[in-house]
């Protein structure tokens, strides 16, 4: 049941490692808030190209049990996932503050103590992150990304220079640059949503890396 509207999620797709569930309730507050956040241009485009916009709540149900891990293969300083002192819920809270909120391990430790009255060390939080990275890494390594040979980006000149340098080494791809904030060109209208996805990914990575500046994620 979705907490935003109380309706049951619908199974939309079955993949090898996970199932995708989606809320299709048009009156769901999550959907309505996402819809209201669209710009006038995107709102006009939405009825014809709704697949470009992820407005409905989507949930991935992983089929893998992350807690059934070969303990002998875990890297040094990783958590054993036996949870002798803390529970999986505590681990989830730590990762939420550390990864989603971008807090450092020490600030996460402080939040756990002051908000949840749970005394946990910053080293243990770092171990949770290392263990999670180890468990998630196979998904990243084996995911079928289906890459294309084109790239949507903003007007930064380095992208065109990179295109030329990669071509010298036999790697060819096309860079489509979307400049400005309005769709004054048909090309901008077609590729802006791709540029925004790439920029959001970059912002997310920079936000997390800037705070933690750690290499224990082993990507």
Whether residues 138 and 153 fall in one domain: no
Residue 121 has pLDDT above 90, yes or no: yes
Q: For residue 50, what is the DSSP state? A: G
Domain count of the fold of the chain: 3
Whether residues 34 and 75 fall in one domain: no
Beta strand 174-177 pairing with 150-153: parallel
- Residue finishing a domain among 142, 159, 191: 142
More confident residue, 194 or 27: 27
- Residue finishing a domain among 47, 63, 79: 63
Highest mean pLDDT among 33-42, 69-78, 143-152, 179-188: 33-42
CA separation, residue 52 to residues 15, 41, 90, 178 (Å):
20, 13, 36, 17
Give which of 65, 66, 64, 56 is closest to 12, Cα–Cα: 56
Mean pLDDT across the chain, nearest whole number?
83
Nearest-10 crossing angle of helices 122-142, 88-95: 80
More confident residue, 16 or 94: 94
Whether residues 115 and 164 fall in one domain: no
Structure tokens at 166: 């990669």
Whether residues 3 and 36 fall in one domain: yes
For residue 111, what are the domain limits?
71-142
Task: Look at residue 29 in the predicted model and tell me its pLDDT.
Answer: 93
**pLDDT digits 0-9 by tens, 40-72:** 888 888 888 888 888 999 998 877 666 665 655
Work out the average pLDDT over 15-31.
89
- Residue finishing a domain among 89, 118, 142: 142
Whether residues 211 and 161 fall in one domain: yes
Give which of 76, 128, 139, 78 is closest to 98, Cα–Cα: 128
Confidence of residue 80 (pLDDT cuts 50, 70, 90): low
Whether residues 16 and 35 fall in one domain: yes
Query: Which residues are CB-neighbours of 64 under 8 A, at least 6 positions away?
Result: 17
């Amino acid at each position: 049941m979705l907490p935003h509207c109380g309706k049951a999620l619908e199974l939309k797709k079955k993949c090898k490692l996970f199932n995708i569930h989606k809320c299709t309730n048009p009156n769901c507050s999550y959907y309505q808030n996402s819809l209201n956040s669209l710009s006038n241009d995107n709102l006009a485009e939405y009825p014809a190209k709704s697949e470009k916009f992820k407005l409905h709540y989507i949930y991935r149900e992983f089929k893998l049990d992350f807690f059934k891990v070969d303990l002998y293969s875990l890297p040094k300083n990783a958590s054993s996932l036996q949870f002798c002192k803390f529970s999986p819920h505590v681990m989830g809270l730590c990762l939420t503050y550390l990864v989603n909120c971008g807090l450092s391990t020490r600030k996460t430790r402080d939040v756990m103590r002051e908000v949840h009255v749970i005394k946990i060390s910053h080293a243990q939080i770092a171990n949770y992150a290392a263990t999670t990275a180890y468990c998630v890494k196979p998904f990243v390594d084996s995911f079928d990304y289906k890459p294309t040979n084109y790239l949507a980006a903003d007007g930064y000149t380095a992208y065109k220079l990179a295109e030329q340098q990669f071509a010298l080494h036999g790697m060819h791809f096309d860079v489509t640059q979307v400049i400005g904030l309005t769709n004054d060109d048909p090309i901008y209208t077609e590729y802006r949503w791709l540029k925004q996805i790439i920029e959001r990914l970059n912002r997310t990575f920079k936000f997390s890396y800037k705070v933690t500046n750690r290499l224990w994620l082993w990507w």
